[in-house]
Amino acid sequence: MTEEELVTLAGSGNVAWILVSAALVLFMTPGLAFFYGGMDRTKNVLNMLMMNFYCLLIVPVLWIVAGYSLAQEPYGNKFIGGFSQVFLKDIDLGDGKTIATIAFLGMFASITPALISGAVAGRMKFSAWALFVPLWLFLVFIPVFKWVYGGWLFQRGSIDFAGGTAIHVNAGIAALAAVLVLGKRKGWPSEIQPPHSMPLVMLGTGILWFGWFGFNAGSALAANGQAAQAFMNTFLAAAAAGLAWCIVERLRDGHFTNLGAASGIVAGLVAITPCAGFVDGADPILIGLIAGVACCYAVKLKSRFGYDDALDVVGVHLVGGLVGSLLLGLFANPEFFSGGGELLFLEGAFYGGGLQLLGEQALANGSAIVWSFVVTFGIMIALKKTIGVRVDEETEVVGLDLSEHRETAYHSG
């Protein structure tokens, strides 16, 4: 074979893995929909599913119209991309890696606003959600994504392997801003119903975990050692966090619960997301254990501070993302991934790097939190003053499935 043929052959494996990973990440949005939908009430489950599936309808289109171009091009600007690749203009097909990567990143763009739906469950107008998603995509997700991947936060040295800051912290703090404008559900917290279908929650959790292998291991954008390590870390951290959450519940509340296992698994997946291709050995287990315990206590914050984050987006995604992203400042081990060559990212404090990386991680997350909170709050206020964000009381009592979608989830007979 000629050298050119060898390069093509090697590249084809990478493209194949990116394509498979993209499909895995797509599957996470239905998984999230079931994870949330099972926790919601019978009268609101379809609304919850639709809030998630809507993201799969609108975001891919917008991602190609201008999203990708604004999020990634040109690399020279530290804060926002440009319009040079709108409608995928001027992109060479080549071996397919660029198109595959754009599709892969489009899946991330789709699931990120969907994460917020869990917080606003049960009382947000669907029309308001339909406008919120594109506004949030362009004004919050894309700038923060750009800062973290190629922009100023990246250039300073902060790292985020698959979206701890850009996705989970970003969506988690946005969820808090959204519910502060939206207000509490009628009857919260004393008269709120428990999850209507725990089997759906467990099914959704399984789909999420499965898809997350594409999310994290796919973020190596190659079929290589870093992808394999990210895969292993995704496996371990989720298990450890699920175990930790259940043990806390067993000791504190007396029982080993399904929802504890599901929540812990997701918390571990969130926490390992920024770390996946940067840590090794037993460290992912430690990260998972810490995230499981931290998030198990963090879901209690809403009752202490009085915000109705219905399905704990803040407690799991904001807190889990922050835990993972900050622990990366301790556990990042570039030497393990360098193959004897130069180090590609800063060392964590436990691997001889001092506190520099931890500082950069704190700055990156702090910046994402401030931007996301302020702009999301602004979007919600703007929607509230124009079309309104909240359904009327009758709709809330009747349920959003019938009122907003003219459908019912469960017919008998």
Partner 1 sequence: MKLITAVVKPFKLDEVKDALKAAGIVGITATEVRGFGRQSGHTETYRGTEYNIAFVPKVKLEILVGDDDVERIVGVIVDAARTDKIGDGKIWVTSVDSIVRIRTGELNDDAI
Torsions phi, psi for 411 (to 5 deg): -95, 140
Beta carbons within 10 angstroms of residue 338's beta carbon: 12
155 binds partner 1 (CB under 8 A): no
- Asked if 248 and 241 count as a contact pair (C-beta separation under 8 A), the reply is no
Q: Write down the residue that tokens 């701890």 correspond to.
A: 164
Torsions phi, psi for 390 (to 5 deg): -120, 140
Residues forming a β-bridge with 390? 124
195 binds partner 1 (CB under 8 A): yes
Q: Which of 296, 310, 313, 332: binder of partner 1 (CB under 8 A)?
A: 296
Q: Write down the residue that tokens 């917020």 correspond to.
A: 116
Task: Output the six-digit token pair for 183.
Answer: 């207000």
299 binds partner 1 (CB under 8 A): yes
- Omega cis (within 30) before 74: yes
193 binds partner 1 (CB under 8 A): yes
Q: How far is CA 137 from CA 57, 111, 142, 206, 301, in A?
A: 13, 11, 6, 27, 27
Q: Which of 8, 12, 257, 395: binder of partner 1 (CB under 8 A)?
A: 257
Which stretch in 64-72, 97-105, 256-264, 381-389 sits in contact with partner 1 by CB under 8 A? 256-264
Which stretch in 76-84, 123-131, 247-255, 351-359 sits in contact with partner 1 by CB under 8 A? 247-255
Q: How far is CA 355 from CA 121, 271, 351, 352, in A?
A: 39, 20, 11, 9
Residue 319 CB, nearest approach to partner 1 (Å): 13
318 binds partner 1 (CB under 8 A): no
303 binds partner 1 (CB under 8 A): yes
Residue 199 CB, nearest approach to partner 1 (Å): 14
122 binds partner 1 (CB under 8 A): no
206 CB burial (10 A radius; 0-12, 13-18, 19+) = middle
Angle at 35 between CA 30 and CA 36, to 5 degrees: 100
Residue 41 or 390: the one with the smaller Cβ distance to partner 1 is 41
Residue 398 CB, nearest approach to partner 1 (Å): 20
Q: Which of 210, 253, 354, 366: binder of partner 1 (CB under 8 A)?
A: 253
Taking phi over 0 as left and psi of -120 to 50 as alpha, with beta for the rest, 412 belongs to beta
- How many residues are there in the chain? 413
Cα 403 from Cα 391, distance rounded (Å): 9
Q: Which of 76, 194, 352, 413: binder of partner 1 (CB under 8 A)?
A: 194
252 binds partner 1 (CB under 8 A): yes
Closest residue by Cα to residue 86 from 58, 66, 109: 66
First-to-final CA distance of the chain: 65
Residue 259 or 289: the one with the smaller Cβ distance to partner 1 is 259
Residue 392 CB, nearest approach to partner 1 (Å): 26
260 binds partner 1 (CB under 8 A): yes
Build a one-symbol-per-residue string for 325-364: x at contacts with partner 1 by CB under 8 A, - elsewhere.
----------------------------------------
269 binds partner 1 (CB under 8 A): no
Measured N-to-C along each axis, helices 170-182 and 319-331 cross at an angle, to the nearest 10 degrees, of 160
186 binds partner 1 (CB under 8 A): no
Helix (H) or strand (E) holding 367: helix 356-386
208 binds partner 1 (CB under 8 A): no
Which stretch in 77-85, 153-161, 167-175, 259-267 sits in contact with partner 1 by CB under 8 A? 259-267
119 binds partner 1 (CB under 8 A): no
249 binds partner 1 (CB under 8 A): yes
300 binds partner 1 (CB under 8 A): yes
Q: Which of 56, 131, 192, 382: binder of partner 1 (CB under 8 A)?
A: 192
Residues forming a β-bridge with 281? none
263 binds partner 1 (CB under 8 A): yes
Which residue ranges make up the site for partner 1 (CB under 8 A)? 189, 192-195, 249, 252-255, 257, 259-260, 263, 296, 299-300, 303, 312
